[in-house]
Structure formats: C-alpha cells, structure tokens
Amino acid sequence: MSVVFLSTGPPTVSAEQLRAIAKSYDVVVDAHEEEHYRHLLNGLDATSQLVEALPAYTDPRLLPDSSTLPRTYERLAGNAEKNPLNTWSHRTSITDPKPLDKRLEGRTIVVKDNVSIAGVPLTGGTFPELLTGKTEYPIPQIDAVVVKRVLESGGVLKGSANCEHFSMSPLSFTSASGPVHNVWLKGYTTGGSSSGCAATVAATQARTWRKKHGLPPNDEELGESVDMAIGGDQGGSIRIPAAYAGIYGFKATHGLVPYSGIISLVPFIDHTGPMTTTLVDNALLLSVLVGYDGMDPRCTPETPLRANVPDYCGLLEAWKAEKESNGEWTPQAAGRGLRVGVLKEGLEVVGLSDEVKAVISAAIARFKAVGADVQEVSIPMHVLGPSIWTVVTRPFITSNGLQNRATPFLGYAMPDITPPVFDQKAYEVLNKHNPAVVNMFFNSAFMNAKPDANQQLAKAMGLVQQLRDVYDEALTDFDVLLTPVNPRVGSKHPEYAMDVEKKMEPAIGATLNTCQFNVTGHPALSMPAGWGKVSDGPGMLPVGMQLVGKRFDEMSIFKAAAAWEVGGKGLDRWNGQLN
C-alpha cells in the first residue's frame, strides 16, 4: 500500500517533535534519516490542515424537518418550583404538522439528555466545561434518529430529561443539576443513568395509580410528567431506573434501535429504547423506534429495514385474541405454552436483599399460576458476565465515552462534544459529583498500560461470544429468562460531602443482573413486579423483574409480560402503605 501526502510549503514539524514522537515508542532515529521522516510528517501535517479547512458535513437525514422549526425551550434543571423532583433538563414542545403516521398522536415524549434535539441544549448530565471545554452547553443542529421517528409518528416531544454525569451511575444523585428524586419517595434514588426519563414517566404512573387506589392527588410534588420516554442503556441504565421507578423499560436487541445522534459510551454496548407506564405503550413506542437508519454502525444484517419492522402492538393483540378465543386469556391459563427459565445465578448475586428476593419469588409463583412452564435453569457463566463486561469496555471508556473520539466505523460522530483533557480541576468536580467517572479515567489508563493489554482484550472479546452462546443455548429451551433487576430496594441519596466510598457504596452490585446483556446484545425488559420496604426508612418502593429473550425476539418478552399481568399488575401488589 502506498501513502501519498500533498506537497508542502515551509516545514512545520521540527526535528524535536520528531524525536519526541520516536521517544514515545522508545525508538531512536538515525541522524541521517531524521530529515526524511520529518519531511513525511510535514506532508501529513499539510494534509491534515487541508481537511481541517474543509466545511463540516452534516448528513441531511439528521437535519430537522423545516416544518418543526423554529424551536424554543426553557431550562428547568435545578428549578425546584417548576421541577420539584429535578426530572427535567430542558422543556419544549415540538410537533410535526404533517407526520407520516399517527401512531403516537397526542402522546407526550421526553428523551434522555444525551439525545440530540436540534435547537435545544445538550448536557450529557454534566457541566458544560466538562462536555465542551466552554461555559455554554452545545446546541445540536440535528435531531437524533429516535427524535425524528417520534415526530414522524405524531408524537409531542416535550424536551429532555436529566441524566447522570456522562451516563455513568446506576443511581440518581450524580447529575450536574443535583439529585433526581423518586416519585414514590422523595429523597430516594430513582435509578440511573436515565433517571429523569424514569421519573417523568413514573409521575404519570403515580397519578393514575393513586387515583385507582383512592389516594389524594399530589400533583405539586410530582411536577409535569409525560406518557413515554426514550432512555439509554450501556449496563442497565434503562432497566435499573425503570425498576426503581415502577415503570417499563426495554433494552431491545443491540442494533435494533439506531443510536445515531446520541452521545456514546462504547458503541459495543450502546442501546437506546422506550420507557413507559404500560406494557402496551412500550410495544407501541418500540415499533416506532426500530429499524435500520443507514448510518449507525451498531446495526447488523439482522436489523430490519423500516418497511419490515414488526408491529409489536398488533402482534401482541393478535396473540391475546387467539388466546381469548381458546378460553385461555384468564388468570389461570394466560401463560399456557410459554416457557420461563428462572436463572438460578440471577437469584444468587452478591447483595441481593431478602425484600427483593421475596418479590421476585412471588413473581415466579405468578408465572406458574397463570399456567406457564416454569423451570430453574443454571448458567454458571452469568456470574462472570459483569467481569467480562468490565474488561471488554474499560479500555475504550476514556477515548470513546469521555473524550468522544470517533470510532473507525462510519457513523455520525457528535462533533459538538469535545471534552477537554482530564486534569486536576476536572477531577475535583467529578470527585464531588460522580466519582464513578474519575474511576473510569483511572480504569481505562490502568487497563491500557498493561503489557498484555491487547491479548487480554482479545480474550475478553472471545468470552463475550462464549457468554452469548450459553444464553442462546438456554433460550432454545425457554422463551424468556427471568432475573431480578435491582438487587436492593431504592436507597436514600448520599450527601455530596461524603467520601468516595460512602457515595459509591449504594451503587455496588446494581448491574450484576443487567450488564451481561449489554455485551451479548440480548433484549431485556424491566417491569414492575411488586413493592419492597426500604432499608433506611419506613417507606416502600417498586421492585423490578427482568425478562430476557433471544436476540431479535422482542415479541416473546412482550407475550410473557402480558400473560403475567393477567394475574394483576405488579404495582397492585400493595399492602396499603407507602410510608
């Protein structure tokens, strides 16, 4: 292969620069060869300057429809009066006057604040100085694909919801604007990193639930809410907050929902998807979001074209109708024909509380009661999944997720996100607000500095395939696998003044049943299964159940969840007390 550089003007690369570059490799260039290599570097420098001078190109498929412009917004983050639970980042109201269809007509939707909305500031849950090196947040010129699809289906985009610093916390106290509170018990976590999404949807859930159970409204405590949200999940960040908030959160198969226009952590584990108050709404929003976009390298040959996207709602209703015609859509028979594998190791993860285990045990009994074939299945490698997830992602966390370095795959690279170099000032801010981000910088540097870093990474990638294979093998015998989501009932927000250990302690173990499926790509739903007592107070908070299916078989999960709920909704398993 030949390398051709443009001819150059006066040299710009000094001999000292060349020597410094060579020294970084522990190489000494012979004196008589220095001028040759310096000349080649000078040519490269001129070539890069030429590219730098070219105008940037924005894929027209990401540009907002002109009929939705202009757009206005109001920043609500940290506004206690208008935003009592600190769920909102920026509020707006965007509709398409001529949508392509009406599936979401009149439905209100919010997106996680790592999703681009043209004309609305993007925060990534952090401070602008840490996102761009400037004092102002970037204002995207594009709509993420999921935003465009919501608008094309008649949805009302209400704005962006707060999220955790760089999407790196399973709890909800690390956002730059302060803690995001649980709608059921203020002062407690609503889970992360899609914290604001979970809480804005859960506020709608709480209003409906309180009315159903004859409790007085508490609208002033909840603030404005929405019907649906679009969250992000790299280790559990849709499912964990959905579980803590008592809503439905779906991490679909990797590559099924395009990620174009969303801040990445590591493409290998990036997922985006629906968070809703009901299972049917989850199926509806997923149908709107799914399908190849022609840009996202996360999509695979298995990702359906838009014309071939399943109508999850229609298919679910047809399946219900068939069961009804057979007299099976009853609390005693709705689950007939479904095979549910209770993952033994999922009920043995470190830190799983008795409260959560009791709720999940009752949920398993419900599956049996509705007629499903329920059996325990052992997958010993499940307990190794978090370690594999850690080793395979840590080398890339800094360059991809914390510095937004473009990957060697064609795709939209979020050019407005230009974090500065990690330094003492950044350390002090992050150490106070989210030590997990500091830990990621240290983790990435440590992993990459190992003499055998490449061999270890290659081995970990092979283990990912093995992990995928063992789940696939188990799923030949079952339609879904069942685990808890959150190992413990939600905890109180820690104080910023606490030391690192105390701030991070409540998050330990939070992803032990979720992160595996980010690296293997299997679809997984979090749904409310019941209530559990908090360990540090008198209150009750929701507990989530996770259903995992074959890759690109979201329908089996929806069927199993729907059959389970014929016996009653998870949040209806209530003892009459919230606090």
Which residues have a catalytic role annotated? 112, 193, 237
Tokens 């040759």 appear where? 36
Helix axes 435-448, 424-433, angle to 10 degrees: 130
Instruction: Pick the closest to residue 315 from 365, 342, 280, 348 (CA basis).
Output: 280
CB 128 within 8 A of CB 137: yes
Q: Do residues 218 and 156 make contact, with C-beta atoms less than 8 angstroms apart? A: no
Q: What is the CA radius of gyration of the chain?
A: 25
Residue 87 CA to residue 222 CA, distance in Å, equals: 9
Q: Give the integer Cα–Cα distance in Å for 188 and 179.
A: 9
Task: Identify the burial level of 432 via C-beta atoms within 10 angstroms of its C-beta, where 0-12 means exposed, 13-18 middle and 19 or more buried.
Answer: middle
The tokens for 162 are 């707060």
Report the distance separating Cα 369 and Cα 331, nearest Å. 7
How many angstroms from the chain centroid is the CA of residue 53? 35
Q: Give the β-pairing of 185-189 and 480-484.
A: unpaired
Q: Which residues of 371-406 are buried (b: 16+ CB within 10 A; e: fewer)?
A: bbbbeebebebbbebbebbbbbbbbbbbebbbbbee
Strands, sheet with 88-94, edge to edge from the N-terminal-most edge strand: 74-75, 88-94, 156-161, 108-112, 228-233, 271-276, 248-251, 524-533, 540-548, 480-484, 339-343, 373-377
**Residue among 479, 467, 477 at smallest CA distance from 517:** 467
